Structure 1
């Protein structure tokens, strides 16, 4: 640790209650034992369930503490800032981490190793006692955040509550509160169960049971009335008692606490349970009661308010601030139809002054091919640094809804509500733009499910969008001279064109009145020379631009393909194939706009300005007449930008969907033929094309209408010029030659003007395509852009450890595919994975290959955590046979040695022999040089599997992963392959998935998976 860091460490350590009691020399020694570590925004510092290895003190930045709730949801506990400590709870209890700490900005922290911390607390018991007091308070704090009905209280209110609570024990059978007693303390159940009952007409009426986190006794204090019911401990209970003075103070000083009680009373009034004492009206549910699904579109609701949004309640709890009506609101178009949720949050971020890229938000909200859940939007908003809350709002309370808010609309869409008027609702629709929707229509289409989003200072830490032209510049720089030369030629051609009107004036004013044929022939020669020069300059310019375009296409396509291939598997699993294809095709159209249209635009601007200059020279009056139509052009451009861009967005999305449908149909043609479903598929494809054709028609009609309007304005401008110009000639203010020359200038200026306006139209499409390219350029590459920090895997012994591995598709609220898988495999051991379909076997294999990353726990190879290893070099040491291995349209040898520029014939033959593929390959006319067709169509299923096994063995990897690798083989072929593999597997670690007993019988260990959990392990004989 450097000297400045050490000084800072002494200061921070001295501020901690646990260390402040140490002697100065001991405290200085402890400060020197800390290590300074850094974490980027969003990084996990400690993860719930991991082994506790250190104590931390935050030196700079901020971090969020979260914990997994009872239903798998992530519950925010606290926000840590400079000087706050964490990690001591697990160290003192000698257990695993009890919560996750995630950096909400760039963070620096001081880290004290577990051994030093343990030695310090052993040698100084007073330090342990001080930290234990902190831990006890923190445990109480976490209890209220995770289990209590008061989880939404402000930090100030919760701090007061925790500091003044009294913990009391109630043994089973004890009467805690008796009906009719005077008002007394309010209680929160920390542990145990409590039965609530009431006496009526001499009989006992059971009202319900209360569990950990529920509270009772508040009504008698709130209304100053006797107890309305009795409460008895069913089991041994630990209760947290609110003394009356604490209750009064919380009511008076903290409106959020009072609001929580009022909401509860209103809930019971709303349910018409007045006959039941409000202290004990059923098993009391917190405001955030359950997780539900919106069935039409599989949208998952994180929380639902039991009260239908009491007026102003959210403003008081700090979710959103009361504000003036929003007059202007930024708009962001969705990239694809499933991106509407991410686009809504992008708009809200821009409204609050932070331009966050939609690709980043898409990852934060866990967008899948079926869209984004409400829980995903709310969690994503919190990850971005916004405050957010999922609610279901009564339609009658629309006017009370804090804005902006993300609303679930039309059954399968998300929009931002940013202003509510008497008769209309203003929404920002990611698919159609800013809209003014009649109130009745909005209420009819709104489900009530909403995410209320507010601003916090943490939003400033969210990364801003990086989409810019910067990635294009390196590809343009080598061709800059050629492009400048092409621009120069275009300027020369434009300047020469302006000579023609001048020569026309000379012909009219001098040649015709005087009959000077000699001058006429001279002028004709000059005109011919000018035309030849213009033609030559134009041809050379086109040649240069074509040359640049081809080179640029090659370079950019290689760059984009590299970026695409560097993205993680999660990118491809959440996007349709047709959408990805449209991204790459759009890159060529962007190139055409920037190179060809860019030069054309510069040429047109030069020619237009020169023509306007000559117009002013001839007649400033006529020049102003020509320019009088400029506002009309500007209006058309504005209308075009407003209408065309969303239509281009929708059209690109429709093209992607239709393209995916075509690819899907071609891939499934064998099934179509087998089912004789050609007519059904044809009708399906026709329906999809008609939907696409409707969008194409509307877009093209609008483009034609725009271009027709431009022509109309141009004709109007020309007619106005003829009128005013003729009057000027009649009055003698302009010669006939000047009038003819001016007419030619008008023609020369109108052409470039219409060209520029047409380019404006093309620019709307280019902007759409360029924004969609951000979906390729924006996401972080697999394992990040900086690969220097990764460990290269040069050798691998084959020891594999899985520690509490879990995996979920689609975010923390999604169901677990794998859960708490712990396994240690020694080098050379063969492990068979068995279980029902959907038990998580294939997912586990993909995790081992690094194709997916665990969402919980860790995987270690030879003692090194998977995420720290370079996946590319690791995968070279792993042979992987997928359940449906893909074969490329190439030779058999190239498929076996895929990834090698020149296959090694000897190694190819060896791998084929081991996989029992050599015999059938040798029978083919060209042997290993036989082309197998796209997806291996020329081979049978069993032959394809043997080629896939050969490919997995080609590099002689120390670890093998087989996912139903022999499922397509007949019994004899499988036996032959197994005999060959048995020899090869000696000394190699292997994981095998198979349903046939013969395949797994000889495994060293069989692991049985059920619903993502390991339920049994052992040998075949043991099981």
Structure 2
């Protein structure tokens, strides 16, 4: 045990805890009393390991309080993935004790936890005296594994957790040797079978139909139709099967219509596959799907597109997961990217939903269909993969998703969200693949035109919105161009006397003077950038960026956000502009101007014609080419669409478009990976040097033409160079303007004015306002679905707390968006006023959402946000924020306390710790209004309750709090409760008032108490 703390053996384990453990359910009261004497208590601080994968077998542990996470590490990639959570009443470490094998996983405390330990020799003695206990433990293991297996079988994914447990208890395990016949064609059907391991073959009339692998099932057809068995199943190798009898099967399909519907769809699909295979000899992937012939959608069948084997690795985009729970959403984002559609992982995760255990097959299928895919969950073999539309999503090892890009006889190419692009031999792929595949067939609804609407009108608005940094650079460019022209046009006379001594050397004067002017103005420009004026402008931008910490960060990618934050430092950002864009652009522009002047002076008529034709052709090329070329049109349309949304209020459906816009802009800039200002300057200087070297061949040709070439040849060279320079500069200037406008627009929308710093004497808040929603209606679109709030009238008194509850998709998150100002009201009014009735024009909102953003910095810097600009010293509030967020126990276990660096490249911080850091950051703000959406959902119920209770009590009277609780029971912590149903406010009052009567709130409370969600199986309850 790496960090467990001994308590002592004098304390006895509660018998109620032993009764809650399913492994000891078969023991009598006397046996439980005997068993209780062998347990000793231990404390496991948050973030410490109980034991690690590969450790020798040792004691078993029973969780009493807190939560521990089960982590497994891939031996090849070194990546860890979460296998699940263990909470009160769960056993951990018992499998290694019984099998005498090394530990198969790492157990890490997700919260401060209390466990009870039983030594190996004590348990062995108990098992020897009580054989029924060994049998009970064996059944317990099988039930856990069976539940994990059932959640991967697509038709049973819609089952609620209690039904899954019931189904697992009714299934029987059978071991079948190879070559044995399992069912016979023509016999009556009495059961359905699931394949846990091994391989088999289905025969009809003596002809093989398809292969059976792990994750397959058969026998459901005769149970659904009442007909005799339609095929014979023979075990190809030793198989482990799970058998579900007809009475239990009938009970499941009658009480769960979704399961019956899935089974019927799969049965129809298999019938068509078998018919086409037997009659025409084609593979199942080429047969029509049931959904393709349904009235709701007509899909034109196309041959699957296969990627060429010679394509480089970059041709297969892989979206990496942010943590171990993101593999499903990352796999779906990769499938979109492979078809040329880039969407932020946060947006895909919102569509998928899922739970703290990750995504389910059902949630992935539902999200893919909402995006415009035609989906089908199938069991495949390696030969059948040749006809599957790729890319598709493969279910891997029972707890992971990968994207299948290519399947050949000698290799399988996969996109692993945890490791990137990998190649595996087919036999190694089969060892990890469960046989389950989510086939994704694009439909017209997935077209780029629908996702990125080509609206050119907002582009013209950008021209009217030039200000700030762009105005500064335009002024500097004008001064530089004016200085260069003055030196070139009038400076030659000062050198004429000396230049006349050299034959034909006077033609070098414009080039020499232009270079001198360029160097001089560049030095002046860099000096200006290091002056206090530029520093003042940069600090203003940093104030804008500081507002990012109060935004719903879940819609920004972590790397994108970190990159944007790193750019907020004055030096790297401005040096990037100078070296990467401005210097080559100005040099080429000036070179084009000088060449044009010399060309016109050599032959006025033809020179003017060449210059005019060059500019005209350049304009036509770039305006018309942008419309004609798909990639440029899509990029411009994406920027236009993002701008059209960002010019309004910062709604959530615009935030992920902003993330895409930042991603698109970043691809044209240097990605800052430097850890310091010095390294960043070196990187930019290197890029600037390489950019200048690219201009030397052009300058050398021009110099040779001016100095030695006859006039006709010189005219010809300049006539060729001028159009080329016009084309190059007309390509780069729009990119420069685009980047400036992107940055200005991002800053403007995210800021909505400079951020306010509270005086040092003020505590958190100090201006807690009264918030009133008066007959407010609002609409927003999520994953193509419109969701409405209708006629909501609600009041949150100053300095109080208000909980917003309701069933999934009732509009809880939209209430917080309306209050924050990130969602526009279609009707009604939202008023924010001080307790004395005076309106509060600029309230400070801090939002805490499900997914925190952690910067690559120390814990202290993450809480105090020093990366985005230093705040006044707030040690008192900083200490209070740490206490309220519950960070103190975790900080005591860090190597350097709050000076420990976390994030990428630093000390690993779990999701629970990151959520606490986000909460502390919001408290330190200080905010006037604190908006909490399912705060601290990753914590166990007791820890979350304790933290929220302390937070609400300490901030009462200082901050107005609106929150959407993770559990309805947590609403009793608030002073008032608002209940929503289908976008309408149906009840409003205190917890005592609403819980006393026959109310919808009381029904929600009873349902919350009566069900214990199984996040590995159930879907999301997103709004």
TM-score normalised by L of structure 1: 0.37
| Structure whose CA Rg is larger | 1
- More RCO (CA 8 Å, sep 6+): 2
